[in-house]
Structure 1
Amino acid sequence: MPYDYYGGFIEQMLADQLTELVKNDTTPVTVHPSIAKMLESTATPPPLGHPVLKEILGYGDVATTPVPVQTTWKVAHFNGGSKIVVPAPDSILSYVELSIQFKTEKSSGVIFFWKEDAKFLTVTLENSFIKVYASLGVDATILRSENAVSLYHWHKLEVWRSGKGVLLKVNKQGWVESELHASKSEILEGTGHIFLGSPDIQDVPTVMKDIDGFSGCVKRVRLNGRSIVMQSVYATNVSECFQDPCASFGCPKGCISHNSAPVCQCDWPKTGRKCTDLSDTTISAMKFSGLSYLEVDNEDVMSHITGDSLDMAVNFKIKNTTQHLRQILVSAGDVTHEDDFFELSVDNNKFVRFALNLGSGTIVLTHPKRIVEDTWNTVEVIRKKNSVKLSVNGEDPISTFAPDGAEQLNVYRNVFIGNNHLPEGSTDGHDFAGFDGCIISVKFDQTIINHPIQTKAAINIQDCAI
């Protein structure tokens, strides 16, 4: 080890002072017993590095342990085996005001878990429905959200408990409420701990099913007026929700992440990895890559789709792929499918599907004729008030009725062709249900869209030779 010059200087100075004190003063000096004994036997200063001086000075051979860097996540990712465990506040015994924003990657998982003795409150995701299990010590009450939540979109859940009442709300859905049955007052020794992303596997209520941990992202967890800080010191197998590969890629306009790689959103006729090339402006059909879309704000189109009728036809061919998600041909309205919307798509088994919500509930029509890949097809949707009809290549139309209560479609965004409106915030590519193939034209009543120049935005569109 290198010689400690600074430490040696301090030792020498202290030794000199002690020696001088002994020579010139008869007043007893209160020093460490070992030093006193040493000074009685010799007037020579203790040698540098003497262990007794090190004891007085308070330094010596100190073993240092590296302190791990503490990470705080604003948006935390859970992989099904992750958890964050924090002490529960004292107020949880009296009331609960809980709100969590989450984006799930699987249809089931434990989001929030608290249990102390016979009292508990847990929030789970089961078959895409939010469930709350609550008990004040007697029997358990179970609440379920009105509608299922979609994968890979952000949602907000709220749970309130005051007295015997417990309420659940998800997004813009209505409140679901129930009543708890309380046992006699009992004094609990503590309030226990809160688990985010996983249950306490040692103490799961019998009323709960065997559910895995949560897979997805969580942010803005608030409990009884305070935010729960998601820190690594409390966490197991938790990571940052999403590392954005677009941050330093340098797209001239927009950028999305797909399979952890950046994809520039090139305005037609620009194309290429960073939109530096120009495509031919002569287009025989519009080619979509799965990450492409057209945004239509044509006044006649918007007026038509928001009325009490719809006459829409799409002439397309779909690429032969093994895509596991549906592929959207045309969509408008709420992407979470909770408010007014319509969506024409091809499902992963290559059947045409039309879904619609006029505000009174969602209907779905799936045509029995399977689409053949790499061949041209024409799909037509006709709606007159609540009556809806779907046909493929003019054959075997199927029909149904939307629930009574509304006849007009209330949408506040433009129409999207080849994809849907991408929600705000970072997108991780998992929720893309874009069309992979070619479209010759889309007809809305008397208006025909067959070229990118007719649209407000045309992203990643190329020519598809017929």
Structure 2
Amino acid sequence: MDLIQGILFWFLLLASSLRPGSPSLGEALRRPGKVGPPLHVVLDALNCTAFSVRWKMPRHPGHPVTGYTVSYCAVGTDTPPQERHRSGSLGRATATTGQSDHQVLFEEVIGDLKPGTEYQVSVAASSLTGKGWLSSPQHVTTLPQESCLPPSAPQRPHVTVVSASEVAISWKPGESEGSSPIQYYSVEFIRPDFDKSWTLIQERIQMDSMVIKGLSPDTNYQFAVRATNPHGSSLRSQPSTTIRTPGPEEAGSGRYGPYYLTDTGVNEDDEGLEDDLDLDISFEEVKPLPALKGGNKKLLVESTIAPRSNPKTVSRLAPPTLASLPMTAVAPQPTPETREGKKGVPTMPRLFDLPCDETLCPAGSFCANDDTWGHSRCHCSLGKGGESCSEDIVIQYPQFFGHSYVTFEPLKNSHQAFQITLEFRAEAEDGLLLYCGEDEHERGDFMSLAIIRRSLQFRFNCGTGVAIIVSETKIKLGAWHTVTLYRDGLNGLLQLNNDTPVTGQSQGQYSKITFRTPLYLGGAPSTYWLVRATGTHRGFQGCVQSLTVNGERIDLRPWPLGKALSGADVGECSSGVCDDTSCVHGGTCSAVKADAYICLCPLGFKGRHCEDAFTLTIPQFRESLRSYAATPWPLEPRHYLSFMEFEITFRPDSGDGVLLYSYDIGSKDFLSINMAGGHVEFRFDCGSGTAILRSEAPLALGHWHELHVSRTARSGLLQVDKQKVVEGMAEGGFTQINCNADIFIGGVPSYDEVKSKSGVLKPFSGSIQKITLNDRTIHVKRDFTWGVNVDNAAHPCVAAPCAHGGSCRPRKEGYDCDCPLGFEGLHCQKGTRGLAPGRGHGQAGSGRRPVIPGQPTRFFHQ
């Protein structure tokens, strides 16, 4: 039956192609010279609303083919066939030429169709003699609607102001990525005080964070994000909270990194995007250079890679299609000028003879003109490396190769004075370590630290003359060094390791420095133009382990986990440190320094490689070993919604660290108990606001303390030892806390995933002797289910002093022995008389041992 319908359909199409006055259908069929049907017709459903048709030209057409016609109609409807005409020898179809004309492959895409609908399709060629024979009808069905869903809107983006013209944005995917992986994100912004609609930044972001630069100072902004997969774009995310860029007098603005074109348009769920912009920002497409000459105001977008700590909740990004790549020539084979990196860093030589305008760098990289060598260079973006910058690199201790750099926000509150400490290991005798200034071309104020012939040079200029302070000793290549820079007004100081500090003074009367560029670490994109200011045109080669600015240790990881905003060709110094390490008994290796590691040993094992088994009695936690333990809540979470009470006996060895923490995965709810600056802090959030209760006096380190905290609805109580009771209340109207995660004690597995207001920043160092939750004791041996690097504290109970199976109960520095039936004494060493087994035993006290049936034998030993 289908064959008969197909033949009838074919004759119907043929008859409909005959115009008035043309030969009859029979004559048309017998007419000589008519072009035969196209060959090898193949149909393919592309999505819910489109399919593709591919074919080859007819065999022996007799006359030149001038075009093609694709005829299609929905099966089972009375709708007449629709036609898609393509005039010209190849029409406007896509053609790929093979070995002969008969191998030319034509393709046409038919869109605007109904989802889940079957269509019947035929193709005919045309020549000077008219329309040719139709191909045999074929069927194709568009994909059903449920297989073509766009992604959900991303979560509300988080925005951080970097400078007067820069903001950093990060976001997380929405609940669903739709029917296909997310291909890219797009970002929009609005200025609530000026704009009535949103402006789209025309850059397809393959990451989940970015830096936007070139914004107007002293202006309010909001940002939103969309996700796109092959089936369409999501709705706009909830707008970010309104942020305000500071004025020029409050903070400087460095112009660096790649610029991109912005676009405007209207989407179906918008009131309309801005289509007649009258902004201070001018939008034009500029090649992604790390530094720009000239002062034109532009909007700048720079994407960064952030290591994803929870891959289960992060949507996959599909690789970009060819259509999404810029239309420019692919760079030729580069000249072998770049040095090779170690494992985990970019190794591909990326120096080209062509300028950046004619060079196409691979995804995950950007092009910059190399003024030193007179070429262009493809730099791997921060967090990328490998042969084609396609490998993700987790950066914690950055490694530099002479043409690398990392950028941080400009120095703040440092116009009059600053102090910077840097720990580094150099592999070359020359290189720029630090730079921040008024601009990137050695004009105006600046400060810099460079290695010049193995001596450190600290330079700064307040505007009227340069101070040059040189270390008295030279550094040793391959060794770690610590340098401290200090400046107050015209006076400066440099101290290398523990050497005697060297001082110096700048010239002139000006005593303040204007910082507008980013703080560059390990080099700069324009080192060639900074040579007169810094004393070198070379970038640093080596590793950086730590950076501290004005007393704050800077997290060197890429933003938003760390403070690094962007960078080029940066590797990881600790890469490979665990390659030759074997942690036994289920332990895992983790780098703790650029060249050092620890084994994260499970509960019950310790040692350099977790080789020693032991019985955990009284847990000892150490920040240096990243210790923590976890235990489930004894009862269902509903039992703790409105009330919970903890009693903890502990001995802190450090003034900071988390004692206890739990949270709800799907909401803002959490509770935490921390050491903070020597005090105890109890924090909790019912979902509408955080309560922070802080002990009145700091605690004595190295001594045992008793802590009592409780929460009833939004009200909390905290008391340490015999200090005054501290009361507090959470904000908002919510009164219950739901914690569906375990209770973490002494630390957490990842400090990047804790609630932002929890105050959980680092592991606890010290001992925890007792934890009671709602009058229920949490036992170390039975209730601790997992953890790492928890050792035994130095306490008498660890040595099991109670004989005959007695249980040692710690009491701060001392202990009790709970003796089994039939035994008594300080250590349960004596047998009792006159008591039947299981009937009772004695209790010690002031030398008397009265028999108290039914009571445990308890001896306190101090």
TM-score (norm 2): 0.31
CA distance in 2 between counterparts of 1:458 and 1:219 reads 23
- SS in structure 1 opposite 2:635? helix
- Whether the 8 Å CA contact 1:300–1:447 is kept in 2: the answer is no
CA distance in 2 between counterparts of 1:439 and 1:201 reads 59
CA distance in 2 between counterparts of 1:386 and 1:233 reads 56
Query: Aligned partner of 1:328: which letter?
Result: V
Query: Aligned partner of 2:662: which letter?
Result: A
Task: Work out whether 1:461 is the aligned partner of 2:794.
Answer: no
Task: Work out whether 1:142 is the aligned partner of 2:221.
Answer: yes
CA distance in 1 between counterparts of 2:592 and 2:628 reads 15
- Whether the 8 Å CA contact 1:298–1:455 is kept in 2: the answer is no
Q: Give how far 1:382 is off.
A: 0.9
- Whether the 8 Å CA contact 2:664–2:738 is kept in 1: the answer is no
The equivalent residue for 2:660 is: 330
Q: Give how far 1:458 is off.
A: 3.5
Change (3 A) 1:439 1:177: closer
CA distance in 2 between counterparts of 1:408 and 1:270 reads 38
RMSD value over aligned CA atoms?
4.7
CA distance in 1 between counterparts of 2:579 and 2:597 reads 9
Query: Counterparts of 1:12-161 in structure 2 under 5 Å?
Result: 95-96=200-201, 100-101=207-208, 112-115=211-214, 120=215, 140-143=219-222, 159=225
Query: Aligned partner of 1:259: which letter?
Result: K
The Cα offsets for residues 278-300 of structure 1, whole Å up to 9 and x where unpaired, read as: 22x262x2111122111101433
Change (3 A) 1:367 1:242: farther
Change (3 A) 1:201 1:406: farther
- SS in structure 2 opposite 1:251? coil
Change (3 A) 1:460 1:95: same
The equivalent residue for 1:268 is: 603
Q: Give how far 1:312 is off.
A: 0.7
The equivalent residue for 1:437 is: 766
The equivalent residue for 1:153 is: none
Query: Aligned partner of 2:680: which letter?
Result: V
- SS in structure 2 opposite 1:192? coil
* 1:345 corresponds to which of 667, 674, 677: 674
CA distance in 1 between counterparts of 2:627 and 2:364 reads 38
CA distance in 1 between counterparts of 2:765 and 2:307 reads 33
* 1:299 corresponds to which of 613, 634, 637: 634
The Cα offsets for residues 171-195 of structure 1, whole Å up to 9 and x where unpaired, read as: xx86446998964599979412557
- Which stretches in structure 1 are left out of the alignment for 5+ residues? 1-79, 81-88, 103-110, 121-132, 144-156, 162-166, 209-213, 426-430
- SS in structure 2 opposite 1:453? helix
Change (3 A) 1:168 1:318: farther
The equivalent residue for 1:408 is: 736
Query: Counterparts of 1:242-391 in structure 2 under 5 Å?
Result: 243-244=574-575, 245-252=577-584, 253-260=587-594, 261-279=596-614, 281=615, 283=617, 285-290=618-623, 291-300=626-635, 302=637, 304=639, 306-319=640-653, 321=654, 326-333=656-663, 339-347=668-676, 349-391=677-719
The Cα offsets for residues 295-345 of structure 1, whole Å up to 9 and x where unpaired, read as: 1014338555x42111012110111x5x7xx3000000169x982111100
Change (3 A) 1:355 1:247: farther
The equivalent residue for 1:229 is: 364
- Whether the 8 Å CA contact 1:342–1:357 is kept in 2: the answer is yes
The Cα offsets for residues 11-40 of structure 1, whole Å up to 9 and x where unpaired, read as: xxxxxxxxxxxxxxxxxxxxxxxxxxxxxx
CA distance in 1 between counterparts of 2:204 and 2:681 reads 37
Q: Give how far 1:219 is off.
A: 6.0
Query: Aligned partner of 1:233: which letter?
Result: C
* 2:286 corresponds to which of 172, 176, 192: 192
Query: Aligned partner of 2:200: which letter?
Result: Y
Count of equivalent residues: 307
* 1:447 corresponds to which of 776, 780, 783: 776
CA distance in 1 between counterparts of 2:240 and 2:688 reads 17
Change (3 A) 1:338 1:202: farther
- Which stretches in structure 2 are left out of the alignment for 5+ residues? 1-161, 163-185, 190-197, 228-234, 244-272, 309-316, 326-361, 367-376, 382-403, 406-567, 754-759, 796-862
The equivalent residue for 1:72 is: none
Q: Give how far 1:432 is off.
A: 6.2
Q: Give how far 1:366 is off.
A: 1.6
Change (3 A) 1:202 1:361: farther
Give the % identical residues.
17
The Cα offsets for residues 409-458 of structure 1, whole Å up to 9 and x where unpaired, read as: 12231110001242689xxxxx9611111110111112212424321114
Q: Give how far 1:387 is off.
A: 0.6
CA distance in 2 between counterparts of 1:187 and 1:376 reads 61
Q: Give how far 1:363 is off.
A: 2.1
* 1:395 corresponds to which of 679, 704, 723: 723
Q: Give how far 1:391 is off.
A: 1.1
TM-score (norm 1): 0.54
Query: Aligned partner of 2:620: which letter?
Result: K
CA distance in 2 between counterparts of 1:186 and 1:353 reads 47
CA distance in 1 between counterparts of 2:286 and 2:200 reads 15
The Cα offsets for residues 106-156 of structure 1, whole Å up to 9 and x where unpaired, read as: xxxxx62354xxxx5xxxxxxxxxxxx69xxxx94434xxxxxxxxxxxxx
Q: Give how far 1:462 is off.
A: 1.6
The equivalent residue for 1:14 is: none
- Whether the 8 Å CA contact 1:340–1:409 is kept in 2: the answer is yes
- Whether the 8 Å CA contact 1:286–1:439 is kept in 2: the answer is yes
CA distance in 2 between counterparts of 1:273 and 1:240 reads 27
Query: Aligned partner of 2:582: which letter?
Result: G
Query: Aligned partner of 2:571: which letter?
Result: E
Change (3 A) 1:158 1:187: closer
Change (3 A) 1:443 1:371: same
CA distance in 1 between counterparts of 2:289 and 2:735 reads 45
CA distance in 2 between counterparts of 1:405 and 1:195 reads 50
- Whether the 8 Å CA contact 2:221–2:242 is kept in 1: the answer is no
Query: Aligned partner of 1:264: which letter?
Result: C
